[in-house]
Structure 1
C-alpha cells in the first residue's frame, strides 16, 4: 500500500475539463477516504475553467498539447502531473499531435515532476482478452489513436511515471461507451452469441479515486514505469450490461440472437460508422485482471456496474438522445 503524503503538494491536471479529468479534479478538491483535499490544484487548459472548478480552488494554467511552446514552464513548482487528455478519433495526424508529440512535450516541460498517464486497454488491440494480467500481453494497437497512446505511455514510463489502463469507463460525462452501446442496441436489437461475452468496466468516480490516490501519496520504487489495469475486478456480461441499460433508459431489450460474424455483418450495414474494433469491444470478451491496483492503494473498487449505472441513469437521461422504438 502506498503511504500518505502532504495535501500541499502541487498537482497539474492535464485534460482536467474532460470526462475523466473533471471527475479527478472534483476528487482532488474534496477530502475523501483516500486523503485530505489538495490545496494546490492546477489545470492545464486552453479555455477558462468552469465556475465550479475555480470556486473550489483550482487554478488555470494556459496551455495546449498541440502547441509545445505553450507548455514551457507549465511544470514549474509541480510535484505531480496527472495526464488525462487524449484524442480518440480517427485523424492519425491529430492523434499523433495530441497523444504522442503532446505527451513528449509535456514530459519535457515538467522534468522534475512525477507523471501519471491514463491510457486505455485498447493498446492491446483486437481480442478476445480473458483475465489478462499486467505484463502478460504485448500491446498491439489496432488504430492510430491507440498506437499514439502507446507512444504516450512509452514517454511517461521512460520518465519513471505510472500508466493506468482502464477498459470501458461509464458515468456522468460519458460520451463514448454508453452512447455507442445504445446506438448499437438500437440499430441491431439482437444479441451477438447470446450476449455471453464479458467485459471490464469502471465507473468514472472509481477511476478518479485511483488517480487522486496516486497524487496524494508517496510512490514506491515499484511504481516507476509501472502499468496498472483499472477496472472493477468483476467483469460484466454484455447481456447483463445491455439489459440494465435498456431497462433503465426505457429502450427495448434485444430478444433474438446471431453468431458474431453475422451480427457484425448486420451492424456494419446498419451502423456504418462503427469500426470492427468498436464492435468487438461491445460484443467480444475484453476483461482484464484488475485486482493489483486496488490492493496497491488499499481502496475498495465499489459495488460494480449495476449500482454504478443506476446512480448515473439520471445524467444519461438528461444528456443523451435516447433512441426509442418506432
Structure 2
C-alpha cells in the first residue's frame, strides 16, 4: 500500500445528498455504494435490474455493520434498491423521479466481451438504449430542479478503455485517442459515450465521463479472467488461457477506481473525460502465472498450480493490448492508485479463497 490516502468523500459531495447509482449491485457499482454508505451520510438510490451478475450481499453486510448510521434522520434506510431495467423507459423515468438525485453515477452495463459475441442484442438494448432512456429521464429531472440544486447537479458516465480499440507494442490511451471499438461490447459502450457527450453539447446536461482499464478485486462475478483463474486453480481444474497469452491489459484495483470515480464525478471538468488506469500492465500469461504462484503459497497441496494452465482457442477480435495514460486525472484531480498490482492481486486471491462457497 502506498502513502496515498483515499479522498474525503463527504467533502467531495459538497452538499449533494441524494445519489443515484445505476448498476449498484454489480462489481464496481457495489464498491461505489459501499464507499458512499460507509463514508458519508448520503441517501443512496441503487438502480439495478438485478441480473445474473448482480449481488447485494456486500451492501447488506455494510448496512448491518453501520447499525443506526444505516438510517436517514427520518428512519428510512440510506440504501434504497430500485429494481429497474434501463431498457424500460417508463420505469427508468419513474425511478429517477423517486430518487430525485443531486448526482448520478451511471455504471449499469452489460460488460462481458464473450457474452457480447454470443448475443450482441442484449448489449445494444442495455448499453445504448438503456443509456438513452436514462439520459432522457435525467435531463427532464435536471431541467425541473430549483436553481441552487440545478447548478450543482452532475451526471457521471463510467465507460471503458475498450472503446479505443487495440494498441501496438508501444503507446497508451488518453483522452484524445480516437474511438475504434472492435467488439459488440466496446461498440455499445462507445455509442453510449457519444450519447452522453451529445446530451451535454445539445441540451447542456452537466456530464463527466471516465474510461477505465480492467478492474479486479473482491466481489467480482466469476466470469472475468482473475476470478476465473483463482477459482479454477483452487479447485484443481484446467485454467483456460486464450491464444498465446500475450494479450496485455492495464489492471486497476477496484477501490482505486472508486477513488477516481468519486473525484471525477464531483470535481471533474463538466463536459470533460478522464482516463483511469492502474499502472498495472501485464500479459494474460503473466497474470495467470502470478495467481498460480500465490496459490502455491496459500494452498500448497495443489502446487504447482501452473500445471493446470491450458491454452484455448482465442476469441474473435481479441484486442492485443490496452494501456492507459492517467496523467490528466492525476494532474487535475490529484488521483493516484493506492495499490500496486502485486498487493491488490494478493488481497484478491486471499478473498476468493476465503469466499469459495459464495462463488
TM > 0.5 between the two? yes
Measure the CA separation in 1 of the matches of 2:36 and 2:170. 33
The offset of 1:6, in angstroms, is 2.0
Q: Give 1:225's aligned residue.
A: 271
The offset of 1:21, in angstroms, is 0.6
Q: 1:229 to 1:177 in 2, by over 3 A?
A: farther
Q: Can you list the C-alpha shifts for 1:225-258, whole angstroms capped at 9, x where unaligned?
A: 32221111353455543332111123533799xx
- For residue 158 of structure 1, the aligned residue among 192, 198, 218 is 198
- For residue 40 of structure 1, the aligned residue among 40, 43, 50 is 43
Q: 1:205 to 1:154 in 2, by over 3 A?
A: same
Q: Give 2:149's aligned residue.
A: none
Q: Give 1:52's aligned residue.
A: 61
- For residue 109 of structure 2, the aligned residue among 86, 89, 96 is 86
Contact 1:166–1:230 (8 Å) recurs in 2 = yes
Structure with higher helix content: 2
Q: Give 2:305's aligned residue.
A: 252
Q: Give 2:263's aligned residue.
A: 213
Measure the CA separation in 1 of the matches of 2:284 and 2:56. 37
Q: Specify every segment of 5 or more residues in structure 1 that has no aligned partner in the other structure, as ranges.
A: 32-36, 257-262, 269-273, 322-326
Tell me, what secondary structure is at the counterpart of 2:330?
helix
The offset of 1:151, in angstroms, is 1.0
Measure the CA separation in 2 of the matches of 1:39 and 1:188. 43
Measure the CA separation in 1 of the matches of 2:262 and 2:348. 21
Q: Give 2:312's aligned residue.
A: 267
Tell me, what secondary structure is at the counterpart of 2:166?
coil
Q: 1:255 to 1:62 in 2, by over 3 A?
A: closer
Q: Give 2:172's aligned residue.
A: 132
The offset of 1:7, in angstroms, is 4.5
Q: Give 1:116's aligned residue.
A: 156
Q: 1:66 to 1:318 in 2, by over 3 A?
A: farther
Q: 1:240 to 1:291 in 2, by over 3 A?
A: farther
Q: 1:52 to 1:4 in 2, by over 3 A?
A: same
Contact 2:159–2:193 (8 Å) recurs in 1 = yes
Q: Give 1:103's aligned residue.
A: 131
Q: Give 1:324's aligned residue.
A: none
RMSD: 3.3
Q: Specify every segment of 5 or more residues in structure 2 that has no aligned partner in the other structure, as ranges.
A: 1-6, 65-69, 71-77, 143-152, 201-206, 297-303
Q: 1:299 to 1:189 in 2, by over 3 A?
A: closer
- Equivalences, count: 292
Q: 1:81 to 1:254 in 2, by over 3 A?
A: same
1:27 equivalent in alignment to 2:35? yes
Tell me, what secondary structure is at the counterpart of 1:159?
helix
Contact 1:243–1:253 (8 Å) recurs in 2 = yes
The offset of 1:65, in angstroms, is 0.9
1:178 equivalent in alignment to 2:226? yes
Q: Can you list the C-alpha shifts for 1:4-30, whole angstroms capped at 9, x where unaligned?
A: 442442110000000111001011122
1:241 equivalent in alignment to 2:287? yes
Larger deviation: 88-97 or 53-62? 53-62
- For residue 307 of structure 1, the aligned residue among 302, 327, 343 is 343
Contact 1:7–1:39 (8 Å) recurs in 2 = no
Measure the CA separation in 2 of the matches of 1:298 and 1:75. 31
